[in-house]
Structure 1
Amino acid sequence: LMRPGRRWQDGCVADTSNEPAELFDGTAPYYAAYRPGYDGRMFTHVAERLGLDGTGWALDLGTGTGAVAIPLARMVNSVIAVDPQPGMLAEARALAAADSVTNIEWRLGEAAQLAGMDLPPLRLVTIGAAFHWMDRAAVARDLDALIDDGGAIVLASGGTPGDIAPPPWSDTIREVRVRYLGPERRAGRGTYTHPAERHQDVLSRSPFSRIETAHWDRTSDRTADEVAGLQLSYSYSSPRQLGPDAKAFVNDVRDALLAFDPAGTFEQTIRTEAIIARRL
C-alpha cells in the first residue's frame, strides 16, 4: 500500500504523507458488519480455473477483515493474510475464529514490504479491492519473484467504478457527505482519484499478462440503518475523517434515505469481479 512521501505513477492520492494504516483507521467494525463480501461463485470459479486442491501457500495482500482470506483458506494448505491496519486484522482474526478457520497467519504489513516478508513459494496471491491503493506495476514485478511457476494473481473487487449504474439513492448520500466533508473524495490526510488505467491494462505489461475476467451480480436489500452504517467503512467517510461528527453524519444519512424512500428498503446491485492473471 502507500508509503509516506511517495506518489504512485497511478495517481491516487494528492497528499503523499499518508501512512497506509490511516486510510481505513476506525473502519474495521463497520467493514465487517456492512460490506457485502464476495459472491461465493467467485471462489468456486477461482478454484476450478487454478486447480486449487487444498495444497500450497496463498498470500492475501490487503486482507482487510478477511473477506477473501477466510473462504480461500479452505482451498489451500495455508494463507498468509497481510494488512497495514491493526483494527482490520483484529476483526479478521475474530471472524476466522468464529468460522473455525485456523490455517491463516495474520501479519501486519503492506505491499511495499513484499521483498522483506520472508514468504514461502506462493501458489496464489489474492488482492481484494485494494490493488488501486498500490503501485500496481511494482507489486506485479515483486510478485513475479514470489509466485511459483503456474501460479497466479487474483484481484477480487466490485468491478471498475462506472461498470454498474449507482442506485437512485446514491446522490442522497453524496449530498450529506459533501455537507460534512466537502466535494473532494478524501483519503487519509489527502484526497483520492481512482486510477484512470484499468487493472487488466497494468497487468498486461507485467509478467502476469495472461488475463481473464469474470463477474457475478446479485441484488441486495438493505435498511436505512445498514446503508448509513456502511458509509463508515469507506476511506472517504471514515470515523477518522468525520471525527466527532460521525454519529451525526450517520443519523443524517439515515434520515435523508428515509426521506427519499419512507418504505425503508434500499435495493442495490452488488457485483463481484475476479481478474485472474497468469504468466504466458
Structure 2
Amino acid sequence: MSLFTGTTEFYRKYRPGIPQEVARVLDHATPQRRPRRLLDVGTGTGLVIEALLGRFDDVIGVDNDADMLAAAESCLRPELPKGTSLTLVEATAEDFAPPPGWRADLVTICRAFHWLDQPKILRQLDGQVGPGGAVAIFGDNSFWAAGSPWKDAVRAVIKDFLGEERRAGRGTFQHHNRPYSEFLEESAFNQVDEVRVPVRREWTVESILGYLYSTTFAARGLFGDRIEAFETAVKSTLAGHGDGDTFPEENEFLIRIGRRERE
C-alpha cells in the first residue's frame, strides 16, 4: 500500500504546482535536441509533467500509487500537445526499467527523493539517462519544516493529535540530514549546479486543510473519529493569525541538477 493512499483528491487539488520559473530552469538544463525525452520519478498526480508540457516529446511518469496515476492520466492526457507521447507506469522507482533503447534527456524527482533508496536510484539512472542528459532533484520547503508563526501553530495542533514525531502514514518519518547534492556528487552525475527560485503563496483555511490531507504526516485517515475536532482546532488556531482568511507564505524551490563529467 502506498504511503499516500487516500490522499489523491487532496493532492491534485491542493498541492502547489510547479512555478513556470522552475520549469524554465529544468528546460534549460538539457540539450534541445529532438526527440526530447523526460522521465519523471515519483510523478504523483503529474504536477511536474504538467509544468513541462510542450518542452519534451516523449514523457514517462513513474509512481507506485495507482490512484495517483489515474489522476495524472485524467489531467494530462487531454492537455498533451500534438505529437507528444505520454506513458504512465505503476512501479516503484527502484523496480522501474525503461523500454529497450530508451534514454532520458532529463530525469526529474520532485518532492520524492527522500522516499527513495537514493544511491541505488542514482546508480540505475546512469543507465537510463542519455549522453548530455541530467538528473534534477528539487522541491520547496516542507510545511513540516518551514517556519512561520501560522505554520508553527498548525504544526503544534498536528502534534497534539498525532504525537510529537512526524508521521509517515501509519509509521514515523525517517530521514537523513545529508544535502541531496552530496548524493549526486557521489554518483555518475557528479557535476552539480544549484538554483534557487523564490515563491510567494497565499493560503486559506480550506487550502491549508486540503494540503495537510494530501500529506503522509497529516492524512485525513490518521485522525479517525477525531477529524472534526482536528479541523475545529486548526480553524481556531488560524483565527489568531493572518489577515482574515489569508495566510501568506514565503518559500523557495531548491533545484539540484547533476550531470556527468566530461561528456
**What CA distance in whole angstroms lies between the structure 2 residues aligned with 1:254 and 1:150?**
50
Tell whether the 8 Å contact from 2:98 to 2:128 is kept in structure 1 after alignment: no
Tell whether the 8 Å contact from 2:169 to 2:222 is kept in structure 1 after alignment: yes
Q: Which residue of 1 aligns with 2:255?
A: 274
Aligned-pair distance for 1:123?
A: 1.6
**What CA distance in whole angstroms lies between the structure 2 residues aligned with 1:139 and 1:110?**
10
Residues 1:186 and 2:157 are matched in the alignment: no
**What CA distance in whole angstroms lies between the structure 2 residues aligned with 1:224 and 1:147?**
42
Tell whether the 8 Å contact from 1:54 to 1:74 is kept in structure 2 after alignment: no
Q: 1:108 to 1:244 in 2, by over 3 A?
A: farther
Secondary structure, aligned partner of 1:31: helix
Over 4 Å off, 4+ runs: 159-162
Deviates more, 1:27-36 or 1:128-137: 27-36
**What CA distance in whole angstroms lies between the structure 1 residues aligned with 2:155 and 2:146?**
15
* Amino acid paired to 2:74: A
Q: Which residue of 2 aligns with 1:66?
A: 46
Residues 1:155 and 2:137 are matched in the alignment: yes
Match among 1, 4, 9 for residue 29 of structure 1: 9
Q: Which runs of 5+ in 1 are unaligned?
A: 1-18
Secondary structure, aligned partner of 1:65: coil
Residues 1:136 and 2:95 are matched in the alignment: no
Residues 1:109 and 2:109 are matched in the alignment: no
Deviates more, 1:248-257 or 1:203-212: 248-257
* Amino acid paired to 1:177: I
* Amino acid paired to 2:113: F
Aligned-pair distance for 1:160?
A: 7.8
* Correspondence list, 1:72-111, <5 A: 72-97=52-77, 99-100=79-80, 103-111=85-93
Secondary structure, aligned partner of 1:169: helix
Q: Which residue of 1 aligns with 2:107?
A: 125
What is the RMSD of the two structures over their aligned residues, measured on CA atoms? 2.2
Q: 1:150 to 1:271 in 2, by over 3 A?
A: same
* Amino acid paired to 2:51: P
Aligned-pair distance for 1:143?
A: 0.6
Aligned-pair distance for 1:63?
A: 0.3
Tell whether the 8 Å contact from 1:69 to 1:104 is kept in structure 2 after alignment: no
Percent sequence identity over aligned pairs: 29
Q: 1:56 to 1:70 in 2, by over 3 A?
A: same
Question: What TM-score do the two structures reach when normalised by structure 1?
Answer: 0.84
Tell whether the 8 Å contact from 1:123 to 1:151 is kept in structure 2 after alignment: yes
* Amino acid paired to 1:104: L
Secondary structure, aligned partner of 2:212: helix
**What CA distance in whole angstroms lies between the structure 1 residues aligned with 2:120 and 2:30?**
24
**What CA distance in whole angstroms lies between the structure 2 residues aligned with 1:227 and 1:187?**
18
Deviates more, 1:224-233 or 1:94-103: 94-103
Q: Which residue of 1 aligns with 2:185?
A: 204
Q: 1:56 to 1:168 in 2, by over 3 A?
A: same
Question: What TM-score do the two structures reach when normalised by structure 2?
Answer: 0.89
Give the total of aligned pairs: 258
Q: 1:142 to 1:213 in 2, by over 3 A?
A: same
Q: Which residue of 2 aligns with 1:177?
A: 158
Q: Which residue of 1 aligns with 2:216?
A: 235
